[in-house]
Amino acid sequence: MAGQKMLKFTKVERDMPEKRPPNLRKEDFGEIYAEYATAKAEEQASRCSQCGVPYCQSHCPLHNNIPDWLRMTAEGRLEEAYEMSQATNTFPEICGRICPQDRLCEGNCVIEQSGHGTVTIGSVEKYITDTAFENGWVKPIRPHTERTESVGIIGAGPGGLAAADMLRRQGVQVTVYDRYDRGGGLLTYGIPGFKLEKDIVMQRMAQLEDGGVEFVLNCDVGDDLSFDAIRGKHEAVLIATGVYKTRGLEAPGVGADGIVRAIDYLTASNRKSFGDDVEEFDSGELNAAGKKVVVIGGGDTAMDCVRTAIRQGADTVKCLYRRDEANMPGSMREVQNAKEEGVEFVWLSAPKGFTGDTVEGVMVQKMRLGAPDATGRQMPELIEGSDYVEEADLVVQALGFEPEDIPTLWGVPELEVTRWGTIKAEFTTGQTSLEGVFAAGDIVRGASLVVWAIKDGRDAAEAILEYVNQGASVAAE
Ligand code: FAD
Ligand code: SF4
Ligand code: SF4
């Protein structure tokens, strides 16, 4: 009976993989959670109650077949669990590590709602695919037949790579263009190694390259190569360029040396993890060692910056946020990790300006939460006369990202964008206003999540296949 191994949630406690103690994990950029041992993964998977209507699955953007691969794991049928898991998710080992599970699958697990701890879905998902790689179950991409049609993908982040994978499996010729020197997008240069180690991303890059996906790196489209040239080379094009324009502060002194953008700070740190020479890091400009660091913002990017600064050996690290802890947009799990590692949170505090030509301090205004706005969220209000200066010699602005002005940068005014600057694309296909041009990921949604970029990339790949199939049948007539 399938059920015999399952429904153990009343007898077996929720148990996450071991977390390295803060004093050790602060010393390096390695991931903080260990891998489950096989028996533990089986035990934790067996806690699932095999819901008839699995809310975990409906709240997973990829609609992963969670109850089934949990059951197979509990029964020791790990290779089958892997086959099922990878059928709906291009990068399960990455999502298992960095999805905000508390807001998605695990946050909607019914056994948590009945007072037992949630099934540790993300950790089991990671375990399944890590084990599949170790055992050689992850097969190379070898299409049955090669097709003549080609697709150009601009952007090697999770959205572009998920589409590349699906299209290549169907024998389509795929070229991915990226302005960075390595693929992976924010998986490589945004998200720090303590959440996602870099060899996990590079392992997927190697798999795609081995499967025949061509990568044209160090190629800034719109600058090194025109968008029209790419359109001219391929039957269809996918734009998956993400969002990189930093939302900046407008405050006196903001131009001082020592006030930097989160993306530059994190990219430099990630490059160092690869062993690259990084001038801005080596000069100290983007290195927190020995400094009083203030990070401004309350989202996941801010959490990645504060925890990076701790690992670089900052003297003190403070996070300034204008609302309180309960109203922080960042994942609670990450806030907790940051606190454990020694980050100090300065709630209800907003920057008013900066002192020093090379930054010496942040002029802080204290806030209180006032009446809710139209969305129901309480608005921060100033407390008059409460200003003070927070000492700082490195300030990182982590206030979010917006899209670059692609139609202007690429000289394609016909490419329609929304009033937020994101590319207008059909909901399930990614079709843009231009014939044969599709879009996926953050450039359509605005700053979002890896799992949504994967979902969009997969959806767009299906629509692109249909599009090239139509072209092929017209050509054959
Ligand atoms: P990206 O990953 O941004 O990739 C876009 C690619 O396009 C890049 O490689 C870029 O170089 C390339 N590109 C852009 N313009 C051009 C051009 N003109 N020519 C050529 N190439 C170009 N999400 C989570 O789910 N969990 C997390 O823990 C998490 N942490 C995050 C931490 C940070 C610091 C940041 C910034 C984001 C985080 N996110 C997280 C969000 C997640 O990384 C993004 O939602 C996701 O990467 C979007 O994927 P994408 O493929 O749309 O774009
Ligand atoms: Fe949960 Fe993300 Fe995996 Fe879906 S992809 S099951 S949301 S961890
Ligand atoms: Fe299992 Fe929880 Fe999903 Fe129900 S909601 S199927 S208990 S993981």
* Ligand 3 binding pocket mutation candidate from 7, 51, 57, 71 (most atoms within 8 A of CB): 51
User: Would residue 394 count as lying in a domain?
Assistant: yes
For the chain, list residues with pLDDT below 50. Answer: 1-3
Same domain membership, residue 416 and residue 354: no
Residue 307's pLDDT is 98
440: Cβ contacts below 8 Å, ≥ 6 apart:
159, 160, 162, 163, 238, 239, 240, 425, 430, 453, 456, 457, 459, 460
Residue 56, ligand 3, Cβ within 6 A: yes
* Ligand 3 binding pocket mutation candidate from 7, 44, 55, 58 (most atoms within 8 A of CB): 55
pTM of the model as a whole:
0.96
Same domain membership, residue 425 and residue 395: no
- Alpha carbons within 13 angstroms on the beta-carbon side of residue 309 total 33
In the chain, the amino acid numbered 372 is P
Same domain membership, residue 285 and residue 310: yes
DSSP state letters, 210-240? HTT-EEE-S--BTTTB-HHHHHHH-SEEEE-
* Ligand 1 binding pocket mutation candidate from 175, 191, 301, 401 (most atoms within 8 A of CB): 191
Looking at 134, 162, 179, which one is the last position of a domain?
A: 134
Residue 177's pLDDT is 98
**Cα separation, 423 vs 399, whole angstroms:** 21
Range list of H helices, 241-353: 262-273, 279-282, 300-311, 332-340
453 membership: H or E segment, kind and range: helix 450-476
Burial of 35 (0-12, 13-18, 19+ CB in 10 A): middle
User: Would residue 140 count as lying in a domain?
Assistant: no
Distance 118 CA to ligand 3 centre (A): 8
Residue 49, ligand 3, Cβ within 6 A: yes
Distance 448 CA to ligand 3 centre (A): 25
User: Would residue 144 count as lying in a domain?
Assistant: no
Contact 141, 153 (CB under 8 A): no
Residue 1's pLDDT is 46
Query: Of 128, 172, 130, 170, which is closest to residue 152 (Cα–Cα)?
Result: 172
pLDDT of 174-194, one tens digit each? 999 999 999 999 999 999 999
Residue 55, ligand 3, Cβ within 6 A: yes
Looking at 350, 375, 400, which one is the last position of a domain?
A: 400
Residue 476's pLDDT is 65
User: Would residue 378 count as lying in a domain?
Assistant: yes
Residue 157's pLDDT is 98
Q: Total structural domains in the chain?
A: 3
Same domain membership, residue 373 and residue 470: no
Tell me if ipTM is over 0.95. Answer: yes
Contact 380, 323 (CB under 8 A): yes
Residue 477's pLDDT is 66
User: Hey, whose CA ends up nearest to atom 5 of ligand 2?
Assistant: 95
Residue 410, ligand 1, Cβ within 6 A: no
Residue 221, ligand 1, Cβ within 6 A: yes
Judged by its nearest atom, the ligand closest to the C-alpha of residue 62 is 2
User: Would residue 307 count as lying in a domain?
Assistant: yes
Burial of 110 (0-12, 13-18, 19+ CB in 10 A): middle
User: Would residue 63 count as lying in a domain?
Assistant: yes
User: Hey, whose CA ends up nearest to atom 31 of ligand 1?
Assistant: 191
Distance 303 CA to ligand 1 centre (A): 16
Same domain membership, residue 265 and residue 376: yes
Same domain membership, residue 458 and residue 326: no
Same domain membership, residue 315 and residue 182: no
User: Would residue 327 count as lying in a domain?
Assistant: yes
Residue 333's pLDDT is 87
Secondary structure of residue 450 in the 3-state scheme:
helix
Range list of H helices, 211-319: 227-233, 262-273, 279-282, 300-311
**CATH number of the domain where residue 39 is located:** 1.10.1060.10
Same domain membership, residue 23 and residue 115: yes
Same domain membership, residue 101 and residue 77: yes
Question: Residue 447 — φ and ψ, nearest 5°?
Answer: -50, 125
Range of the domain at 390: 249-400
Range list of H helices, 26-120: 38-45, 55-58, 66-74, 78-88, 92-98, 110-113
pLDDT of 385-410, one tens digit each? 999 999 999 999 999 999 999 999 99
Secondary structure of residue 75 in the 3-state scheme:
coil
Looking at 356, 374, 400, which one is the last position of a domain?
A: 400
**Cα separation, 36 vs 42, whole angstroms:** 9
Query: Of 321, 390, 382, which is closest to residue 353 (Cα–Cα)?
Result: 390
Query: Of 122, 109, 124, 114, which is closest to residue 10 (Cα–Cα)?
Result: 114
- Alpha carbons within 13 angstroms on the beta-carbon side of residue 94 total 30
Same domain membership, residue 320 and residue 233: no
Contact 70, 45 (CB under 8 A): yes
Same domain membership, residue 282 and residue 391: yes
Same domain membership, residue 11 and residue 113: yes
251: Cβ contacts below 8 Å, ≥ 6 apart:
351, 352, 353, 354
**Cα separation, 343 vs 315, whole angstroms:** 11
User: Would residue 143 count as lying in a domain?
Assistant: no
**Cα separation, 325 vs 347, whole angstroms:** 7
**CATH number of the domain where residue 361 is located:** 3.50.50.60
